[in-house]
Amino acid sequence: MLITSNSSTNNIDVIQRNNVKISGQGNQAIVLAHGFGCDQSMWSYLLPHLESNYTVVCFDYVGSGQSQLSLYDPERYTKLEGYALDVIELLEGLSMSSVIFVGHSVSSMIGLLASLKRPELFASLIMVCPSPCFLNIGEEYQGGFEREDLEELINLMDKNYIGWANYLAPFVMGTGHSEELTTHLTNSFCSTDPTYSKPFAKATFFSDYRHLLSESKHPCLILQSENDSLASLDIGQYVHQHLPHSSLEVIHATGHCLHMTHPETVSVYIERFITQQAKK
């Protein structure tokens, strides 16, 4: 697949801006989008399982990883729509369309937002441990967290950023996994400047996109961890129930990072989903 930069995207060099890395081979492109506090290195465990059959695109959102921090716009990135625009501009800049978008955690909703705005750029969505809203909202919806608790967690970023990272990473990763994985996630949290990570945290944890689930037009595979402290099995089932054209696969696992802890299993489900869609 020949991929070139498209200067029509406001003259933005998305390859530089979003630290785009392209690997693998195949006519079908898969775009891997990392979650909050992470960067594209989190996909390194899954990449070897995809590169033999697909062209794989990894990137960092502006403000994360090795992206161009000089292009960070404080107003744009106060909402997930700003990160969705990163995705759209990236695909436009690479002259890509009909991609399979794999989003971890909050990137599941970012992918949904981007696909609703520019549906022709996407063939299907794959959501890894998604949540449309992390807040508990009365009896109608239990996202897992009270607003006060999340506000306290985010305020901790100002008081003790390293302590915040050392607390959150093991909580997100879950129990029973190697120290290497938890350390990888902790280091990612620690390496992100709170100037950029705090607005992303607020956009992630205080947003509510439940109302948009029913508008999705693309086939979607939901991969849900059986025991996830950040986005519970109930949330995965909620997304499945409200997202048209979706299928749900529950993986016997703990933690919120299935692509890191169970990459082979995740790759099997992705391959099966893509094969099924190709037959339709």
Instruction: Kindly state the DSSP code that residue 19 receives in the 8-state scheme.
Output: T
Greater model confidence, 1 or 87: 87
Catalytic entry in 177, 218, 240, 256: 256
Q: How many Å apart are CA 243 and CA 245, to the nearest integer?
A: 7
CATH topology of domain 14-133+209-279: Rossmann fold (3.40.50)
Q: How many Å apart are CA 183 and CA 64, to the nearest integer?
A: 17
Q: What share of the chain is helix, strand, coil (3-state, %, to 5)?
A: 50, 20, 35
Instruction: Give residue 190's pLDDT.
Output: 87
The answer on pLDDT for 6 being more than 60 is no
| Tokens representing residue 78 in the block | 């106060």
Instruction: Give residue 158's pLDDT.
Output: 86
Catalytic entry in 41, 105, 108, 207: 105
Mean confidence (pLDDT) of the chain: 94
Contact 157, 168 (CB under 8 A): no
Question: Active-site residue 105, yes or no?
Answer: yes
Contact 104, 259 (CB under 8 A): yes
Pairing label, strands 55-58, 21-24: antiparallel
Greater model confidence, 12 or 228: 228
Q: How many Å apart are CA 276 and CA 260, to the nearest integer?
A: 24
Give the model's confidence band at 1: pLDDT under 50 very low, under 70 low, under 90 confident, else very high: very low
Average pLDDT over residues 229-244: 97
Q: How many Å apart are CA 212 and CA 81, to the nearest integer?
A: 13
Burial class, 234, CB count within 10 angstroms (exposed 0-12 / middle 13-18 / buried 19+) = middle
**pLDDT tens string 122-136:** 999 999 999 999 999
Q: Please list the residues that pair with 222 across neighbouring strands.
A: 127, 248
Burial class, 82, CB count within 10 angstroms (exposed 0-12 / middle 13-18 / buried 19+) = buried
Q: How far is CA 92 from CA 27, 104, 113, 174, in A?
A: 17, 21, 16, 36
Question: Active-site residue 228, yes or no?
Answer: yes
**pLDDT tens string 248-273:** 999 999 999 999 999 999 999 999 99
Give the model's confidence band at 109: pLDDT under 50 very low, under 70 low, under 90 confident, else very high: very high
Catalytic entry in 228, 232, 240, 246: 228
Report the predicted TM-score, pTM, of the whole model to 2 decimal places: 0.94
Which of 20-29, 105-114, 159-168, 200-209 bottoms out in mean pLDDT, i.e. has the lowest?
159-168
**pLDDT tens string 33-92:** 999 999 999 999 999 999 999 999 999 999 999 999 999 999 999 999 999 999 999 999
Q: How many Å apart are CA 165 and CA 185, to the nearest integer?
A: 9
Contact 267, 244 (CB under 8 A): no
The answer on pLDDT for 9 being more than 70 is no
Average pLDDT over residues 83-104: 97
Domain boundaries, the chain: 14-133+209-279
Question: Active-site residue 178, yes or no?
Answer: no
